Each structure stands twice: as C-alpha cells, then as structure tokens.
Amino acid sequence: MRIGVLFGGPSAEHEVSCASALGVARALVERGHQVVALGITRAGGMRLVPEPVLTECCTHVGEGRAIDDRLPVTGPAVELRAGERAGTVAVTAADAPGSVHAELDVVFPVLHGPYGEDGVVQGLLESLGVPYVGCGILASAVGMDKVAMKRALRAEGVPTTPHVWFDAPTWRAAEDPEKLVVGLRRPLFVKPARMGSSIGISRVAEGDDLADAVEEALRHDHVVLVEQGVTGRELECGVLGGWHPEASAVGEVRVAGGWFDYRQKYFGDADPMIVPAPLPDEVTERIRELSVRAFTAIGGWGLARVDFLYDETTGDLFVNELNTLPGFTAHSMYPKVWAESGVDYPEVVNRLVALAFTRHAARPGGAA
C-alpha cells in the first residue's frame, strides 16, 4: 500500500512527532508498504520529504535516545486533495495543483498535540474521504481536552483523580486564586487542558507558588486543569482495536522528582520504563479492563495509551488520562507494552492500517 505518514506540525510537540514518525515509517517499510513522508512545518506548511532522505533515515538506526533520531521536515511544498480514485488522496504541488506527486491509499497521522491529535487533521482527512489511522474527530477532540476527557470517564464510572478547572478570564478575575483549588490537597499538578508530552505541566507542593504554575499552563492553553496529586505508582496500558478493542501488558514508569516530565521522557540517560510492571495479577487485570472501558468512553478507535495512578496503600486506581496518539519512538511505552504482549512494532502499525480501512468501509455510504 502507499501510505502517507503525516508528522511535525505547529504544536510544541513538533520534535516528538518527527521522532515518532521515523519509527512508524521504518515499521511500515519493513512490512512492505511504500511510505510517503509529509512533514508539516511549525508555520503550518506541508513538505514532501524527498525519497532519498526518507530512505536514508529509514535504513540508518541511530544510537541516540528518544527524539535524537527523527525525520526532517524538508522538501517541496505540497497540498492534499481528493484523489482520482475514490477513497484516495492526492499529494499535489502547492504551486501547481495539477501536478500529482503521489496518490495515497491511507494516511497515518503521527501528529502529537494541537492541530494533529485534537480532531483538526482528522476533520481534514474525513473531508477528503480517505482512510486514516487512529481515533476519529470526536474521540480525538475529547482525548486531547483533559477536562472533556474526565467528564466522559466519570460519566461511565471510570475513576479519575479529584480535580478542578478554570479558564484564563476566571483566573485573572480571582481575588484569591487559592479559592479556585479549594478542596484539593497538595501536591497539585497544574496542566494546560490541551497539550501532551508533559509540556506546560508543573507540580505544586506545599509552599510553592500556584500562580507561577498556572501562568506556565496558560502559555499553552486558555483552560487550566488542576489535579490533586496521588502518592502512588505510574502505570500505563496500551489499547488496540476497533469494535472489540484489546488491552496490552501493563508497564510502569519509575522517575525522579515525583513525576515524568518532558526532560526525563525524551532526554533522560536511563530508561525509566519497566515492562511488565511487577503487580498482582488482579491489579493488572483491573488496569486492562479499565483501559478498554476508558477507550470506549471517549469513542476511541485504533489506539490509545491509558495512564494510571495506583495507590498501593488503599488499592485505588485512577485513570490519569488517555493519549490517542501516544509516543511512537523505539523508546516509547506503547510499542513496548505491545511487544510484551506478543505484538511487535511492525505488526502494531500494520494492524492500525487495517483498522483504518475497517472504519472507512463502515462509514455511511462506505464500501461494503
């Protein structure tokens, strides 16, 4: 198949996306597919990565960790248009729309964060009528918005941490900012509502300034989520599937400083991920069951990584969040937990491509 890998983008997670895209491209090539790499610049323009550059990147396995190894956003400016064949999309020259570089059978968005993981690019691909990998418009939007996500989870009885949220005008007008978080015990985690890769997140302990943390979050979004910290273990589970999604093995993240920040995720020297997580069987199964329930609660399709906090003293499990396009580097948790479950990286991406066609065929007016 000819598969377009869409990556980069204007969000703060641009570099992470470029690294994830290289892993996906390599796996697709290994499975015998033809990859067309489409990089989106930080300004929002689309570039067709030249084939020799793509080939060099896919055949060279770097020695660096995480985002040291990535696809470059380079090449001629291009646009996407509906293809001549139904269910395809054409990659055309931006300055000459009649000049077609390639016609894609399916698109694999590897875009983290706003404009790529939040339903925006999914809406574009829906309008072009092409199959695409991952969650649809609604699930992507709900999965990206931590406030909407928690509403969906709680509506389905999935446990979440105590939290509050407020927008920028409410924060600016507050005479006593502490009243906005009344009822929550410190430490607090202050987050932009719509951002990933731990960008814009701060931990606020006793004596720390809440205002600094909120202002940092507001640099990335106009809505802020404040969660009560849970003293416990950070556990993660992958979900893969469509009508009948399945959960992977469970992994654990063990980090310094109380939480898994951006630096440790992508620049740490040590690998903080333990797969499988050493847990009692009943806890593992509970996590797997809650992962599928959470995925279903947002209307997920294809994939998600579900992150948990586990308080061993009480036995409580909380779903912290879902990530509908988790990191896909060779060092990321999602491929690791599926490898532990007997599904290697190339097979994961191959299944995701197949699921894209399954959903496309099932849409109103789709092929039988």
Catalytic residues: 13, 197, 332
- 140 assigned binding-site residue: no
Residue 261 and residue 288: Cα distance in Å, rounded? 24
* 3-state SS track over 225-244: EEEECCCCEEEEEEEEECCC
Q: Could you tell me where the DSSP H helices lie in 206-276?
A: 210-218, 262-267
- 234 assigned binding-site residue: yes
- 146 assigned binding-site residue: yes
Q: Single out the residue of 134, 116, 109, 163 nearest to residue 301, CA to CA.
A: 134
Bridge partners, 223 (sequence order): 167
- 116 assigned binding-site residue: no
- 265 assigned binding-site residue: no
- 198 assigned binding-site residue: yes
- 229 assigned binding-site residue: yes
319 within 8 A of 296, measured Cβ to Cβ: no
Query: Please, what is the angle between helix 146-155 and helix 281-297, to 10°?
Result: 110
- 190 assigned binding-site residue: yes
How far, CA to CA in Å, does 223 sit from each of 49, 163, 183?
A: 35, 13, 19
- 323 assigned binding-site residue: yes
- 41 assigned binding-site residue: no
Segment holding 25, helix H or strand E: helix 14-30
Q: Single out the residue of 225, 20, 40 nearest to residue 115, CA to CA.
A: 40
Is 189 in a helix, a strand, or coil? strand
- 150 assigned binding-site residue: no
Q: Single out the residue of 111, 131, 129 nearest to residue 6, CA to CA.
A: 111
- 197 assigned binding-site residue: yes
Residue 47 and residue 27: Cα distance in Å, rounded? 21
- 230 assigned binding-site residue: yes
- 216 assigned binding-site residue: no
Residue 51 and residue 38: Cα distance in Å, rounded? 11
The binding site for ATP comprises: 146, 189-191, 197-198, 227-234, 320-321
The binding site comprises: 146, 189-191, 197-198, 227-234, 307, 320-321, 323
The binding site for Mg(2+) comprises: 307, 321, 323
